[in-house]
Structure 1
Amino acid sequence: MLLPLLNSLGLGIVGGLAFDFAGLPLPWMLGPLVVNLVASIRGASVAVPEQLRMLFLGVLGLVLGSQVTPELASRVIDWPVSGALLLIGVAVSTWACAAWFRWRGFDATTALFAAAPGALTAMIMMGEASGGDPRKIAISQSLRIVLVLLILPPLFWFYEGSAGADVSASASGGFSAIWLLLALPVLIPLGIRLRLPTPALMMPLLVSALLSGFDIARFDMPDWGVNAMLLVLGSSIGARFRGMTPRILRKHLKNSFTATLIALAIMGLFAELTHQILGTPRDIALLAMAPGGIGEMAILAVALGLDPMFIAFHHLLRVVALMAAAPFLARWMQARKA
């Protein structure tokens, strides 16, 4: 497993340097992601072990949690309103994307679980149990996550220039509360035992948020540490497509690309509603509503410096809601087939 990891990180460094030299947005996340994605679908031996990915998700959780301050409470009272708008948007988006997949020849069960914007593992398992095609669901869900990551940063970069700034803007000049890194081997298994969504991210986030919120300790990393975290996580996202041939990718890319654009357009409308009703900045509202993976959107939030806690809360709410809805969707689809 060492050689695929070295290949993945080596290619990631090349991609990061190339993107950085070209002045492209989020070079140390998107560069490794794109290069590893191309390498994986061409059959190269690239991989990031799950244990390493989870460890760096834990580091990301510590970074996110450190953004909590005692002043955060004054903004939390708006979250139920934006949360309600998010859930309505998720329902509308899922219906619209499912209709698209149906039009493209998916059966009703596969279309529904492929269209749900999140909770990838739960959607695959429940979709298969309901008679859907788990391969189509998995590919559609995975492509959605990557496409959102590839579409959003250039949009921010083009319209605001925020993505073209230093992606480590939220980092300090050095490490602070570095001892929290030593707690990750305990916190991550605890999160798994407690059955938290994305436990490697959420458990460290909660602990870091409590410590930072009560002004006990605040975790910080230097710029190179943030870039190293983005390198590993970006490489892991790209390498997950190992084994997918170019033919299979081309077959599914059009369907997933259009579905992702539909989902982004719908959630963009609800982000605008959030901005108009609550005054939340448009960029923060859009990233909070975006139909990406919770870990991936958390990476963007940190890299772009866009209120990571507000964004993480909404993505967690979306994932929890979808996980809670999945069994009911499965039973409904099974009853329709009976």
Structure 2
Amino acid sequence: MNGAGGRALVRALGVGALGGVVAQGLGLPLAWMLGPLLANLAASSRGLDVRVPEGLREALLGVMGLVLGSRVTPQLAERVLDWPLSVALLLAGVLASTAVASAWYRRRGFDPVSAWFAAAPGAMTAMILTGEKCGGDPARIAVSQSLRVVLVVVVLPPLFWALEAPEAEVVTAPARQPEALWLLLLLPVVIPLGRRLRLPTPALLGPLVVAGLLSGLGVASLTLPGWGMNLMLWVLGSAMGARFRGLQGASLGRYLVDAGVATALALAVLALFAEAIHQGLGVPRDVALLALAPGGIGEMAILAVALDLDPIYVAFHHLVRVVVLMVMAPFWASWLRRRRRSAPVPRDSGPGGGL
């Protein structure tokens, strides 16, 4: 890391620490994620150079993956049999929420391609790249996707807190011997392995799979003390907020309105499908909503662990959603290209016409 990058990291963590202290003083839920996130979002939008290196972010996502995988127990297999129905409802909800959110983006002046790919609830990188290949606006898609993730992270914890949702029935792995900390030594191996296997969010899912196997077999599991979890949330929250360098003033306000309404619409639609999962399968309402929420897989896994809301169930459903979106994106792109080619071209109405 060069000198400028080091100073930017110190600023990001300093701003994040201030935000965390304020959020904790206000009694906000997940204070050490929301406080650093909002403080760095405000700082970056005002032009302050705040950055968290991708390598540091990935390392902490890897630790989170180990913690998440350590929740796997042999008893989990009994509950997996109920998941195909909830996955079907998830995919129906993804289709419905994408249609509703894209209709809103069209009303806000997005072209059809940008509207659809901005509204897709997940697989951010794939949506940006595929949308650009189809002729969409990559900047609009990227900002809309990023703001959606941030808005979901900001909205859900206070929502659960305000509604005083009952505590979920979480399947947790019992704490094992302290030497389970040796799992941290696996990160330099399992994160690159996740990349080679082309896993979505490899820094999270590579460690998750390995820790899940070890925990499920009763070999070892990793748990963190409260201060360790808050340390991770502080850095990861700062990283999320620092994404928006260069997006300032009126531009940020306009994008926030666009993404805010689209996210609210998507959440409302997905909440209906979450309620169907709750009523039909007995999954706690807050767990079902978090499993269907239109956030990123890494961010939603962090929330699930921090809120103690059945993180394996949540992560599995977000993984399915991301994989399906990535598989469907090329077919979706092909359909949009054919639709664009078959659309009638407006005739020029004479000199100066067609404007």
TM norm structure 1: 0.96
Residue 152 of structure 2: which of 148, 162, 177 is its match? Answer: 148
Distance in 2, Cα, partners of 1:113 & 1:45: 29
Distance in 2, Cα, partners of 1:225 & 1:180: 15
Aligned residue in 1 for 2:231: 228
Query: C-alpha deviations, 1:75-119, integer Å up to 9, x for none?
Result: 010111100100000001111111111111111111110110001
Distance in 2, Cα, partners of 1:173 & 1:196: 28
Residue 201 of structure 2: which of 194, 198, 201 is its match? Answer: 198
Aligned residue in 2 for 1:292: 295
Aligned residue in 2 for 1:79: 83
The structure-2 alpha-carbon separation of the partners of 1:139 and 1:170, relative to structure 1 and needing over 3 Å to count, comes to farther
Larger radius of gyration: 2
1:121 maps to 2:120: no
Deviates more, 1:11-20 or 1:312-321: 11-20
Distance in 2, Cα, partners of 1:268 & 1:318: 16
Q: Which amino acid aligns with 1:39?
A: A
The structure-2 alpha-carbon separation of the partners of 1:173 and 1:151, relative to structure 1 and needing over 3 Å to count, comes to farther
SS of structure 1 residue aligned to 2:49 = coil
Number of positions where the alignment pairs a residue of Structure 1 with one of Structure 2: 333
SS of structure 2 residue aligned to 1:196 = coil
Distance in 2, Cα, partners of 1:296 & 1:174: 28
1:138 maps to 2:176: no
Q: Could you tell me how far 1:183 is from its partner in structure 2?
A: 1.0
Q: Could you tell me how far 1:171 is from its partner in structure 2?
A: 11
- Structure 2 residue runs without a partner (length 5+): 342-355
1:48 maps to 2:52: yes
Aligned residue in 2 for 1:337: 340
Distance in 1, Cα, partners of 2:107 & 2:137: 16
Q: Which amino acid aligns with 2:147?
A: L
Residue 314 of structure 2: which of 311, 314, 319 is its match? Answer: 311
Aligned residue in 2 for 1:166: none
SS of structure 2 residue aligned to 1:90 = helix
Q: Could you tell me how far 1:283 is from its partner in structure 2?
A: 0.7
Q: Which amino acid aligns with 2:48?
A: A
Contact 1:175 1:221 in 2 (8 A): no
1:94 maps to 2:95: no
Query: C-alpha deviations, 1:210-257, integer Å up to 9, x for none?
Result: 111111001111111111111111110000111111221112111111
Residue 254 of structure 1: which of 240, 257, 275 is its match? Answer: 257
Distance in 1, Cα, partners of 2:186 & 2:173: 22
Residue 72 of structure 2: which of 62, 68, 86 is its match? Answer: 68
Q: Which amino acid aligns with 1:31?
A: G
Query: C-alpha deviations, 1:158-199, integer Å up to 9, x for none?
Result: 011679xxxxx9997995511111110111111111100000
Contact 1:100 1:259 in 2 (8 A): yes
Distance in 2, Cα, partners of 1:81 & 1:95: 22
Q: Could you tell me how far 1:21 is from its partner in structure 2?
A: 1.6
Q: Which amino acid aligns with 1:192?
A: R
The structure-2 alpha-carbon separation of the partners of 1:171 and 1:132, relative to structure 1 and needing over 3 Å to count, comes to farther
SS of structure 2 residue aligned to 1:177 = helix
Distance in 1, Cα, partners of 2:27 & 2:109: 40
Q: Which amino acid aligns with 1:40?
A: S
Q: Which residues of 2 match residues 160-199 of structure 1 at below 5 A?
A: 160=164, 177-199=180-202
Q: Could you tell me how far 1:20 is from its partner in structure 2?
A: 1.1
The structure-2 alpha-carbon separation of the partners of 1:174 and 1:300, relative to structure 1 and needing over 3 Å to count, comes to farther
Aligned residue in 2 for 1:301: 304
- Structure 1 residue runs without a partner (length 5+): 164-168
Distance in 2, Cα, partners of 1:303 & 1:56: 14
Q: Could you tell me how far 1:8 is from its partner in structure 2?
A: 0.6
The structure-2 alpha-carbon separation of the partners of 1:20 and 1:133, relative to structure 1 and needing over 3 Å to count, comes to same
Q: Could you tell me how far 1:315 is from its partner in structure 2?
A: 0.4
Aligned residue in 1 for 2:349: none
Q: Which amino acid aligns with 2:101?
A: C
State the superposition RMSD in angstroms. Answer: 1.7
Distance in 2, Cα, partners of 1:110 & 1:270: 25
Q: Which amino acid aligns with 1:55?
A: A
Contact 1:172 1:223 in 2 (8 A): no
SS of structure 1 residue aligned to 2:276 = helix
Residue 7 of structure 1: which of 2, 11, 30 is its match? Answer: 11
State the 4+ residue runs in structure 1 displaced beyond 3 angstroms. Answer: 169-176
Contact 2:165 2:286 in 1 (8 A): no
Residue 270 of structure 2: which of 267, 282, 291 is its match? Answer: 267
Query: C-alpha deviations, 1:250-279, integer Å up to 9, x for none?
Result: 121111111000100010000000011101
1:159 maps to 2:168: no
Residue 24 of structure 2: which of 20, 26, 30 is its match? Answer: 20
